[in-house]
Structure 1
């Protein structure tokens, strides 16, 4: 494709969704990725959790809308029947009530407004579903070198809220490949092992990209969906000056440990978000448990200068997360061999993504998405495709923000919620919870 209509930088799950949605609208798209396979950037390291609880109404609406595409994954993609598809396992998500999350009153209010089902659970119901759990409270979360680590604070957990429709996708890289294959059916093209070194401009607007190979590819629209590399691409485009929200790569460790002997966590467990110990977990193949940090103050943020040069080895953070989870699950065995994932988030200032145009005409951004936007990829792709057509059609999204109807739940949202120029959203959790 010598001159596509749009170049999409990044073939992660959101980049692939944008390619699919634009291709369905008749755009000639070319997706570029420096990795050798689609979906093999930060998407491959994603926990791929599909949940509905968010600290903002807009975030809740977007996530509830997003669930429906995973539920109807095969129908949404329209791929041949024999295609290997990523699987969505609807396990539900249990969120512990804590003072830190306001006992989830706001989350329940938003879900009720959106007709998103949830259930209040007593401590007895938690123990019935997860008999391996102990319900002592340990807040605030601590590191192992804290002398108070592992000592209960004298209180008990007083219940939880269960969102039954939540779950996770078994193979996040495959889900991005599914989306790209669906896009190819509509003419989308992709080139891997192709790294962008410069954003080209002409007459005050974007005109294409220069690759590290020296090749120039011309296009009137360029979309930055480069994940943890997004800030570098935005810098190349010279669009940082009018942005109140910035994005940066943030190093994360995710722990994989075997479930306690005698309990089938893979089939009987559920996703759990537990801000009392500041961890989330979900079932993993082979009766393992995957454990991630919810970014408490004691877990220092490991910001990286770029998205390629960072420590890929496990540190004491792995042990800290495993041992914090063992407070909740006393029968948990801590293996001598560390297993899991070390990867990067593309984190924004307030942990809410940027889905927006930029100060450079024709240059668009879907950035700051890592950690809490995997679940929203299909609807983010659809919204971005509409936003690009809205702006390319002559509308000024900055002064007249696009209003977008979420097709499944029939709610209209103001897309300036995701603006690069928005005030920092103080309703955010300022963590992976979004």
Structure 2
């Protein structure tokens, strides 16, 4: 392992690997990435990997839209594979959620997203398996879909290595060194690295990293469960991804006639990222199976193929923190993605590389994602 670096990235998920890759593109070849387990082992590898743009604020919508366009051209531009599948995306709401729906759709259209309102009947035409009972409004995003969480994370890592980044797996950070208000480097269970720049991209472990330099970030963890249902009929990418606000579920095709289904509802019970149940609970499986069958009746007889659970690292407003510390020079953080990290990751890497190498954001105004929004109210 190197003993010096221009920058150290902590975390080998899709965010950390994207940042490392973009730093090498900025000409910073002396980069070290530290991952305590394996690349993509944490939240990234347990993502449903949806790619969509319907958000309640303009900055996140803009970031998602730019990231989607990067995914569309990723394979051709890099020679790697992100597994992006353009299925289209339907978001549907009940009557009591129509005001928020109109607000979000207007933002998406102003940003330039190829999206428009559709009737419940048109939603059924796009996705013939849908029962639209309880749905009053819906929108369609033509260019959205999903990608491969493992494929994109590994591709970012391989591109970073190709650019000169040293990736150390199975390497746990034990201390972030700082002195005189400046970052000095990190200590690990495999040795020390001296560096003036450290990037906290440790996902569920990011709070612990920040605490090592005396910072408290407004983060909490929530355990999210996903069930893979096995259909007994043909179910594939001809069906759009669906986000159902009325039933609070989302689902997409997963290959081999499997539907991935989750909820995304906050469950802020205390969670230890080093020790939590990594499969779905029986009561959740039963509940989500009933909801999926209500929205897609042909799944009433579907079996459970397998389940998993992962962690969201959530901020108070469910938007990420992309910033550098005012207290400790050289300490940066890309944390709190609240379940949006995968789809935003191409742009997050670029924006953080700009912040570190160029001194500020250029691809878009990402200042609304600063930590001070929570301190100033």
* TM-score tier (shorter): over 0.9
Q: Following the alignment from structure 1 to structure 2, what is the Cα–Cα distance between the partners of residues 290 and 101? A: 26
**Equivalence for 2:208:** 232
In structure 2, do the counterparts of structure 1 residues 277 and 421 end up closer, same or farther at CA, with 3 Å as the change threshold? same
Instruction: Say if 1:206 and 1:221, in contact at 8 Å, map to a contact too.
Output: yes
**8 A contact 1:3–1:217 mirrored in 2:** yes
- 1:351-370 alignment runs, 5 A limit: 351-358=318-325, 359-370=327-338
Equivalent position to 1:165, from 121, 127, 143: 143
CA drift of 1:187 comes to: 0.8
Aligned twin of 2:101: 104
Q: After TM superposition, what 4+ stretches of structure 1 lie above 3 angstroms from structure 2?
A: 299-303, 333-338, 423-426
CA contact (8 A) 1:123 1:159 kept: yes
Is 2:215 the counterpart of 1:271?
no
Q: Paired residue for 1:283, among 246, 253, 256?
A: 253
SS in 2 for 1:379: helix
Alignment match, 1:208: 185
Which secondary structure does the structure 1 equivalent of 2:9 belong to?
strand
**Which of 353, 356, 359 in structure 2 is aligned with 1:385?**
353
Any conservation in 2 of the 1:13–1:179 contact (CA below 8 Å)?
yes
Distance 1:72 1:187 in 2: 23
SS at match of 2:329: coil
**Aligned 8 A contact 1:132 1:329 in 2:** yes
Distance 1:103 1:88 in 2: 28
Between 7-16 and 311-320, report the one with greater CA deviation. Answer: 311-320
1:101 shift after superposition: 5.2
SS in 2 for 1:176: helix
What is the rounded CA distance, in whole Å, between the counterparts of 1:16 and 1:294 in structure 2? 24
Residue 405 of structure 1 deviates from its aligned partner by: 3.9
How large is the Cα RMSD of the aligned pairs? 2.0
Q: Summarize the alignment of residues 422-433 of structure 1 with structure 2, pairs less than 5 Å apart.
A: 422-423=373-374
Instruction: Label 1:101 to 1:340 Cα distance change in 2 as closer, same or farther (>3 A).
Output: farther
Match of 2:119 among 118, 122, 137: 122
Within the alignment, does 1:60 sit opposite 2:58 as a pair? no
Which of residues 221, 233, 237 is equivalent to 1:249? 221
- Note the residue ranges of structure 1 that are not aligned, 5 or more in a row: 138-156, 392-401, 407-411, 427-434
Listed one character per residue, the Cα deviations across residues 334-382 of structure 1 (whole Å, up to 9, x for unaligned) are 5565612211111122110000011211111000124112111111111
Question: Over residues 144-179 of structure 1, what are the superposed CA-to-partner deviations in whole Å (9 max), with x where a residue is unaligned?
Answer: xxxxxxxxxxxxx2231000110101x212211111
Worse-superposed segment, 310-319 or 2-11: 310-319
- Alpha-carbon deviation of 1:331? 2.6
Cα distance, 1:329–1:274 mapped onto 2, change above 3 Å: same
- Residue of structure 2 in register with 1:308 after alignment: 274
Q: What secondary structure sits across from 2:308 in the alignment? A: strand
Q: In 2 relative to 1, CA 207–313 (structure 1 residues): closer, same or farther, beyond 3 Å?
A: same
Q: Does 1:32 align with 2:34?
A: yes
Note if contact 1:207-1:219 (Cα within 8 Å) is conserved in structure 2. Answer: yes
TM-score (norm 1): 0.81
In structure 2, the CA distance between the partners of 1:205 and 1:101, relative to structure 1 (3 Å rule), is: farther
Structure (1/2) with the larger helix percentage: 2
SS in 2 for 1:332: helix
Gaps of 5+ in 2: none
**1:183 aligned partner:** 160
Could you tell me whether the CA contact under 8 Å between 1:90 and 1:166 is conserved in 2?
A: yes
- SS at 2:133's partner residue? coil
Structure 1's 333 and 258: CA in aligned 2 closer, same or farther, altered over 3 A? farther
> How far apart, in 2, do the equivalents of 1:5 and 1:255 lie?
42
Q: Do the aligned residues in 1 keep the contact of 2:22 with 2:160 (CA within 8 Å)?
A: yes
Q: How many residues align?
A: 372
Q: Distance in 1 between matches of 2:204 and 2:138?
A: 33
- The answer for the alignment partner of 2:175 in structure 1 is 198
Secondary structure of the structure 2 residue equivalent to 1:100:
helix
Q: Name the SS of the counterpart of 2:260 in structure 1.
A: strand
| More displaced stretch, 367-376 vs 191-200 | 367-376
- Residue of structure 2 equivalent to 1:294: 264
State how far apart, in whole Å, the 2-side matches of 1:425 and 1:87 are. Answer: 40
Distance 1:230 1:24 in 2: 25
Per-residue CA deviation, residues 174-216 of structure 1 (Å, 9 max, x unaligned), is 2111111111222111000000111111232111111134x22
What are the superposed Cα offsets for residues 299-336 of structure 1, whole Å, 9 maximum, x if unpaired? 743331x3111122421122212212222122313556
Per-residue displacement from partner, 1:115-138 (whole Å, max 9, x unpaired)? 21112211211222222222222x
Partner of 2:132: 135
